[in-house]
Structure 1
Amino acid sequence: MTFVHKLIVVSLATGLFCSSVPVSASSADQSSERIEGTELQTVPLSLSTAVEVALADNPSLATMRSRAEAMSAIPSQVGTLPDPKLSFNALNLPVDTFNVGQEGMTQMQVGFSQAFPFPGKLGLRENAADYEAQAAGSEVDETRLWLMRSTRSAWWQLLYLDKALDIVVKNQVLLREFVKIAQTKYTVGKGLQQDVLLAQLELSRLLDQQVRLTGVRRNEEARLNALLNWPTTKSLTLKYKLDAKLPLLQKEADLHRQAETTRPLLMAQRNYISAARSRVDLAKKDYYPDFNVGAVYGFRSGFNNGIERPDFASLLFSMSLPVYTGSKQDRAMDQRNSELLQQNYKLQDTRQQVREEISRAMADYNRASEQAALYKDGIIPQARQTVDSMLAGYQVNKVDFLNLVRSQITLYNYETQYWLSFSLAQQALAAIEAVVGTENIYTEDSL
């Protein structure tokens, strides 16, 4: 067999032995199922629709999902052996003729080698990457909760501003009626000109309030549009059917315990701790050597005493020598232990942060819900009775105009405060669901 024939045969055999690399991979088209924004933007926006659109189209959430998908592709990569190596070598060529058959020591070699990390290293690397991929998945859930909270908060704030503007418009109508009454009484000599001027002044104040609320509403509108990934210039109309009854919540301590198992932020941090622990174990493995094994086949040409020269075969084995442990492996152990300690401290800090968020949101909800109930059931009915009584008294000259206007403005303020408290209570509910990590925060009586 000639040298060329031998080289072809061994090269083909080596190629069959090596793991083949896929030449093509199916690239599935991952077009997101967007909710048709063009159609939705032409109809009133309900709370449930707003949340649905945000979860489907918000780019921040899509970014976190793509990151989690990328992280999930890492474990199998780091848990797989390094690629084997194929080598072609020309040994001991005579430089005078470069004739491969001139000297007996001349060889044309084909070699194959494979590196093997110390047993357990690949598994620990894969475990660490897998824990980090799980943490990335939990961070997607955390972003989802944040997005739902932000969308609900913006929607309820927008509702409050709509209600406040409705109240302003209604009070403008009433004050215009008061102006007519004051002008009529002034015309017939039973009223004062200052009453007319006072009514016009209060009407101007309401117009100023309308301008201010309209500007604030435009800001909230832009914020909600951004969360929905809609044009920020779009004008939104809300669709709602309100239940004035606010639900009862579980005890604060129960919500603290529940958050330990339902809050994605805590789940992610626990996975980061597991990943850091795997890296500590991996650093311990680095005190042990890695290995490399291989085989080389050497082709020779020419003849010795009329006999064709035999080929050579060689087996190779090598290992790393971790002899610089003081400046390398020991320092790596210190690093990994510090990183593990850091992640443990971060979990404690995150847990306290979650508990603080729950307590603050609970306090906000209790305050806002109690105020809303007080305004709805007590203060506003009394204020309306006062306005009716004042108006009747003014028409028969028993109440001065200033007190009538003040009573109406007071009622306006109370009605506005009710809707603000109701909106803040709903926003606090959205916050509690987000910081606990579940919608299961209510008592059975509220379901």
Structure 2
Amino acid sequence: MKNLMIHLRPIFRSRLYLGQAFLALSIMSTQAADQTNSADKIIGMEIAIEAAKEKDPWLVGNKHSQDAIESMSIAAGSLPDPNVSIGIANLAADSFSFGQENMTNAKIGISQMFPAGDSLAIKRQQLELKGSQFPYQREDRKAKVSVTVGQLWLNAYNAQESIAIIEKNIPLFQQLVDIAEASYSTALGKTRQQDIIRAQLELTRLDDRLTILHQRREMFQERLSEWLNGYFQDKYMENGQSEDHGNNAFMLARKLPDIKLLNPQLYVSAALTSQDILYEKMETHPAVQAIEQKIKASKAGIEFEKQQYKPKWGVNAGYGYRASDRTGRDRSDLFSVGVTFSVPLFTANRQDKKVMSAKSRTSAVKTEKWLLLRKLMASFETAKAQLIRLNERLELYNKRLLPQMSEQAEASLTAYTNDDGDFAEVMRARIAEMNAEVDALNIEVGRQKAILQLNYLFMTNSDQIIG
């Protein structure tokens, strides 16, 4: 019996190694086929982000809003239209004769009003300042889209690569099951029926895990496709293909991008970063700058209301034509000119209150700025702590945990093939190694997502999000 076991052990080992070699070949051929069949529909993170920003309708609407404000600023800086009046004055009621009375005349007049003080120029400046918010708003929107689409891409990538890791290990587990069944059927070795059942159960659980991961990948790809529909449509139209081929099915790039961290000097220590340093870095953020322009526009509103303490002016001129009298003598025509102006006497309930209201609005907008800065600073500390821990975990996995898991799996398999180990331990070691690979992938993806969030906090241009 011992001689038979010695004879069978090399067979078992050769079957295992043959299965691993077949697995490697099948994976490489499958990947090559996928890349060949879907080469025109492989989406990297950078392409996905640029396509989403290019096709974002919010940016178009924001530009239209800016155009509307800028057009309004030109109109607001213009004087009101002059008024022209035409009429007949002092016509005799008994005869309606134009030449009967000396004061009867046909009159034409024109008047022009002038707003108080410099209110026209200030109103125009206020609207121009309001319009200057929109470019910063669009830059902030592009940055937020970059973070949102980047995280969706990373989530889909995480599911895709987790599937690849599990599918890479399934043939190995199948080989282990075959070996266990062969050992059990020949009554050789220490394989028990419960070992076979456990191995089959683990395969079933892997199938369920794959189903869940496929569901996650499809969910994130569908959410990602909401941002990329226009990209696919334009791409296929440029290639002269029908729209039927421009569906949302696409593959993600297999390489995880290495996103460069902005201001890496801030992450050297886990200690809290000085708020003065953070303020200096974050005050140029587009969202903060948009509110800053809003504050300037609100301050211009205060100056506009102060102009209402000054009088409004108006000038008018008129010319009256008189007909000859009854004896045929010409009568001199009439000319009139005048000035009108308002007298702001009752300012307590009008001008004073409007100035107070404008100042309160300005204070409210300043509060928005400080709330935003506080939110950005708090987000930084949270994401910074998360990134530091993820870096520590990633280093631990790469330098110690993954090599140790691999050594444990190899040692347990060697012991089992030498009839000196337990089959259940082989399964546990292989599953633990596979889970460690998936965990390491989760950590790396989580690290990239944290960098996206941190880069958003310090960017001045949306292109800086992914370097």
TM-score, with structure 2 as normaliser: 0.80
For 2:311, the aligned partner's letter is P
In the TM superposition, 1:27-426 aligns within 5 A as 42-95=40-93, 98-190=96-188, 191-230=191-230, 234-242=248-256, 249-251=264-266, 253=273, 256-303=278-325, 305-426=327-448
Take 1:392 and 1:245, find their aligned partners in 2: how far apart are those partners? 40
Q: Counterpart of 1:224 in structure 2: which amino acid?
A: L
- SS of the equivalent of 2:187 reads coil
- Counterpart of 1:296, as a letter, is G
Contact 1:175 1:199 survives alignment (8 Å) = yes
Aligned residue for 1:298, secondary structure, equals strand
Displacement of 1:183 in angstroms is 1.0
CA 1:257 to 1:332, structure 2 compared with 1: closer, same or farther past 3 Å? closer
Contact 2:91/2:98 (<8 A) preserved: yes
1:257 to 1:334, Cα distance in 2 relative to 1, 3 A: closer
Give the secondary-structure state (helix, strand or coil) at the position aligned to 2:86: strand
More helix by share: 2
Matched residue type, 1:234: N
Q: Cα deviations across residues 408-428 of structure 1 (Å, max 9, x unaligned)?
A: 221121111111111111111
- Between 249-258 and 132-141, report the one with greater CA deviation: 249-258
Q: SS state of the match for residue 118, structure 1? A: coil
C-alpha separation in 1, matches of 2:406 and 2:300: 68
Say which SS state the counterpart of residue 324 (structure 1) adopts: coil
Report the Cα distance in structure 1 between the residues aligned to 2:309 and 2:258, rounded to whole angstroms: 67
Q: Give 3-state SS (helix, strand or coil) of 1:110's partner.
A: strand
CA 1:258–1:182 in structure 2 vs 1: closer, same or farther (change >3 Å)?
Answer: farther
- 1: CA distance, partners of 2:123 / 2:258: 55
Greater alpha carbon shift after TM alignment, 295-304 vs 209-218 = 295-304
Structure 1 pair 155–440 and aligned structure 2 pair: CA distance change class (3 A) = closer
Distance (whole Å) between structure 2 residues aligned to residue 57 and residue 297 of structure 1: 62
CA–CA distance in structure 2, aligned partners of residues 106 and 440 of structure 1 = 74
Deviation at 1:194, TM superposition (A): 1.1
Q: Classify 1:61/1:362 alpha carbon distance in 2 versus 1 (closer, same or farther; 3 Å).
A: farther
The CA deviation string for residues 280-321 of structure 1, in whole angstroms up to 9 with x for no partner, is 122222111111112222233343531233322221311122
Give distance in 1, aligned partners of 2:260 and 2:285: 24
Judge conservation of contact 1:246–1:369 (CA < 8 Å) in 2.
no
How does the TM-score come out when normalised to structure 1? Answer: 0.83
**Mean Cα deviation higher: 429-438 or 255-264:** 255-264
| Equivalent pair of 1:160/1:419 in contact (CA under 8 Å) | yes
Distance 1:73-1:364 versus aligned 2 partners, 3 A rule: farther
User: Are residues 78 and 183 of structure 1, via their aligned partners in 2, closer, same or farther at CA, if it must alter by over 3 Å?
Assistant: same
Q: 1:228 to 1:316 in 2, by over 3 A?
A: farther
**Aligned partners of 1:380 and 1:414 also within 8 Å:** yes
Query: Which residue identity lines up with residue 182 of structure 1 in the other structure?
Result: A
* Cα displacement (A) at 1:372: 2.3
Question: Is the partner of 2:160 in helix, strand or coil?
Answer: helix
Q: Using the alignment, how far apart are the partners of 1:281 and 1:270 within structure 2? A: 17
SS at structure 2 position matched to 1:346: helix
Question: CA distance change for structure 1 residues 96 and 240 in 2, over 3 Å: closer, same or farther?
Answer: farther
> Match of 2:266, as an amino acid?
K
227 and 360 in structure 1: CA distance in 2 versus 1, 3 angstrom threshold: farther
3-state SS of paired residue (2:264): coil
What is the CA distance between 1:437 and its match in structure 2?
2.0
Give the 3-state SS of the residue equivalent to 2:318 in structure 1: strand
Task: State the shift of 1:111 in Å.
Answer: 2.2
Conservation of the 8 A alpha-carbon contact between 2:108 and 2:320: yes
Identical-pair percentage? 25
Distance 1:244 1:298, change over 3 A: closer
Deviation sequence 1:335-384 (CA, Å, 0-9, x none): 11211211222222111111112222222222223322322232112111
User: What is the Cα-based RMSD across aligned positions, in Å?
Assistant: 2.7
- Residue identity in the other structure for 1:116: F
Instruction: Assess if the C-alpha contact under 8 Å between 2:286 and 2:460 holds in 1.
Output: no
How far does residue 439 in structure 1 lie from its aligned partner after superposition? 7.1
Contact between 1:120 and 1:285, CA under 8 Å: does it hold in 2? Answer: yes
Which runs of 5 or more residues in structure 2 are unaligned? 1-37, 233-245, 268-272
Instruction: Describe the SS at the equivalent of 1:303.
Output: coil
- Which amino acid letter does the alignment assign opposite residue 370 of structure 2? Q
Instruction: Count residues with an aligned counterpart.
Output: 404
Is the 8 Å Cα contact of residues 130 and 293 (structure 2) preserved in structure 1?
A: yes
CA contact (8 A) 2:80 2:113 kept: yes
AA aligned to 2:226 is: A
* 1:393-435 alpha-carbon deviations (Å, 9 max, x no partner): 1222322122211112211211111111111111111111212
How many angstroms apart in 2 are the aligned matches of 1:377 and 1:84? 82
Give the drift of 1:143.
Answer: 0.7
Query: Which residue type is aligned with residue 396 of structure 1?
Result: N
Whether the aligned pair in 2 keeps the contact of 1:289 and 1:319 (CA below 8 Å) is yes
Do the aligned partners of 2:402 and 2:436 also contact (CA within 8 Å) in 1?
yes
Of stretches 345-354 and 78-87 in structure 1, the one that deviates more from structure 2 is 78-87
Structure 1 residues 367 and 88, CA gap change in structure 2 (3 angstroms): farther
What amino acid maps onto 1:312 in structure 2? L
* TM superposition shift of 1:113: 1.8
**Does the CA contact (< 8 Å) of 1:371 and 1:421 recur in 2?**
yes
Work out the CA distance in 2 between the residues paired with 1:56 and 1:243: 21
CA deviations on 1:145-193 (whole Å, 9 max, x unpaired) are 1111112111122211111111121222222122111111111113211
- Structure 1 segments unaligned to the other structure (5+ residues): 1-39
Contact 1:372–1:419 (8 Å) recurs in 2:
no
SS of the equivalent of 1:86 reads strand
